[in-house]
Amino acid sequence: MSDSLLKWANDPRTAGVVKSLGLPAPVRLARSKGGYVAQPLTGQNFLLGGSAAGHASDVVRSLLQAAGANVLDSLPPVSAAESEDKGKGGAASPSTGDAFKLHGVVLDATGVRTPDDYRLLYDVFHPLMRRLAKNARVVVIGGLPESLADPVAAAAARGLEGFTRSLAKEIGKRGANANLLYLERGAEDRLDAPLRFFCGARCTFVDGQAARVTRLAAAPAEVPLEQVLKGKVALVTGAARGIGAATAERLAEDGAHVVCLDIPADRDGLYDTATRVGGTPFAADISDPATPGRLVDFLRQKFGGVDVVVHNAGITRDKTLANMKEHLWDLVIAINFRAITAVDQALLAGGVLRSGGRIVCLSSMGGVAGNFGQTNYAATKAALIGYVAAQAPLLAAQGGTINAVAPGFIETRMTAAMPLVPRELGRRMSSLSQGGQPRDVAELITFLASPGAYGLTGNTIRVCGQSLLGA
């Protein structure tokens, strides 16, 4: 469903009216087309900040440069063109091509251990806040709090989350976002793919998040930069439409052969998606107790295994608990929770998930924050958060990872069916003042499914434009 306010706010003929009415003016978000490229940050100015006590700066500098970025240690003085540009209403006005644009900032805050060290945050960010371009990216890298023995050091690292989330809220009106990577000591070599993702256009709707980069999962033999899923087989459930269809497309763009699963009643949509992505359709109800076994046999016989599993199929059956019929409760638990664990158990028991396998579960903002009328749905989506955290260590020795993504308001048939007022509130109550696209979720899933994401496992990452609901 199209977002009229987004159109009006970005049309010079109507932008003034939007402003004078005091309505939110969402920025048109930058998005990438096609699959991964070797240098996604080409031509972009990134400031790299940090203190001498940090341990990530050297690695980050060389990774950003390898990704094509122009890495700066300090900001150039404000030029006349930049002043003029700002006078016209924004650091990234396309009208003055020669004005300096700051496309991103990476702060190595791994040396932050004490309250005094927080001065680094002010000293780095205060001077640049008015110079960030539209759609800029901020990535803060902090120490992993649970690995720090000193309580004050652990507290200082954890506080970076509050800083980053607040910063994200301040820069969201420019379409810019900020995220935090908690980095385990010794996992610096695992930053390449996460930096490419969080510094690039593909994380346009992932905002105000904290993800852990750890040494838990064994490293893959090879980490390609382009066609990152070439030769891999991916299973996407619920692929007939919405986020599942976008995910199948996105995985195929990076070379995966996608097995698209959906219910027989959605056969038309399922075959459309499978044909479009050059994949294989598999019609089945994921909650049918016979499905996991059928699926394992099919994947083994046809492909010899599977590399990526995206548990996307999910339903809502909303009612207050007082009004909820027993069968609606049971149906949501069966599809959104039991079916996922049953498929994984069958894949693992049958040795069908290949080493270095990637599992991604679709949780939801409702699972993080809870939602009125969604006790059944939120219970299942929160269960998946616990599931990925508990399953991660069990897959790690074989180089397997498992993560959850928690979408916020995404423009799909599910949200188009909402009444006007909750739909508008869902769209606007976020730092970016707009809904996300299915492709935005598919980008996060594709990143987590890629070989380069071996440093991330057990995480739940929201893709919600930093919705004001929940943590």
Judged by CB under 6 A, which stretch of 28-36, 94-102, 306-314, 393-401 contacts ligand NAD? 306-314
What's the Cα-to-Cα distance from 25 to each of 17, 31, 166, 307, 433, rounded to whole Å? Answer: 10, 18, 20, 42, 7
If one asks whether residue 244 binds ligand NAD (CB under 6 A), the answer comes out as: yes
Nearer to ligand NAD, 188 or 411 (CB): 411
Q: Does the footprint of ligand NAD cover residue 403 (CB under 6 A)?
A: no
Least Cβ distance, residue 268 to ligand NAD (angstroms):
11
Between CA 105 and CA 215, with CA 113 as vertex, the angle to 5 degrees is 70
Query: CA distances (Å), 159 to each of 7, 202, 273, 425, 469, in order?
Result: 37, 26, 44, 29, 20
Residues 348-387 that bind ligand NAD (CB under 6 A): 362, 364-365
Residues numbered 43 to 82 that lie near ligand NAD (CB under 6 A) are none
Answer for which of 138, 210, 243, 448 binds ligand NAD (CB under 6 A) is: 243
In the complex, least distance from residue 470 CB atom to ligand NAD, rounded to whole angstroms: 11
CA distance 435 to 202: 15
**460 belongs to the binding site for ligand NAD (CB under 6 A):** no
- Residue 242 interacting with ligand NAD (CB under 6 A): yes
Q: For ligand NAD, how many residues bind (rule: CB under 6 A)?
A: 29
What lies within 8 Å, CB to CB, of 235 at 6+ separation is 258, 259, 261, 295, 299, 306, 308, 309, 310
**Least spacing, CB of residue 253 vs ligand NAD, in Å:** 18
Q: Is the dihedral of CA 327, 348, 227, 453 positive or negative?
A: positive
User: Judged by CB under 6 A, which of 33, 126, 327, 413 binds ligand NAD?
Assistant: 413
- Least distance CB 457 / ligand NAD (angstroms): 20
Q: Kindly state the smallest distance separating residue 59's Cβ from ligand NAD, in Å.
A: 34
Which residue in the set 154, 328, 414, 418 belongs to the binding site for ligand NAD (CB under 6 A)?
414
**Residues that are catalytic:** 377
Considering the rule CB under 6 A, would residue 206 count as an interface residue with ligand NAD?
Answer: no
Which of 72-80, 104-112, 161-169, 238-246 is the region at the interface with ligand NAD (rule: CB under 6 A)? 238-246
| Rounded CA separation 56/445 (Å) | 26
* Complex with ligand NAD: residue 200 or 407, whichever CB lies closer: 407
Does residue 259 touch ligand NAD according to CB under 6 A? no
CB of 37 to ligand NAD, least distance (A): 27
Among 410, 445, 448, 453, binds ligand NAD (CB under 6 A): 410
CB of 340 to ligand NAD, least distance (A): 10
Give the span between the Cα atoms of 240 and 193, in whole angstroms.
Answer: 29
- Widest pairwise Cα distance in the chain: 69
Specify the stretch interacting with ligand NAD by CB under 6 A; choose among 50-58, 177-185, 199-207, 257-265.
Answer: 257-265
The span of 127-135, 146-154, 280-288, 294-302 binding ligand NAD (CB under 6 A) equals 280-288
C-beta closer to ligand NAD: residue 110 or 415: 415
Q: Tell me which residues in 415-434 interact with ligand NAD (CB under 6 A).
A: 415
Torsion of CA 250, 255, 257, 261, to 10 degrees: -10
**Cβ-based nearer residue to ligand NAD, 263 or 456:** 263
**Residue 234 in the binding site for ligand NAD (CB under 6 A):** no
Min separation Cβ 410 and ligand NAD, Å: 4
Q: Does 285 bind ligand NAD (CB under 6 A)?
A: yes
- Whole-angstrom distance, CA of residue 66 vs CA of residue 43: 12
Choose one: 9-17, 31-39, 223-231, 307-315; the region binding ligand NAD (CB under 6 A).
Answer: 307-315
> Residue 135 interacts with ligand NAD (CB under 6 A)?
no
279 part of the interface to ligand NAD, by CB under 6 A = no
Q: Applying CB under 6 A, does 335 fall inside the site for ligand NAD? A: yes
Binding site for ligand NAD (CB under 6 A): 237-238, 240-244, 261-263, 266, 285-287, 312-315, 335, 362, 364-365, 407, 409-410, 412-415
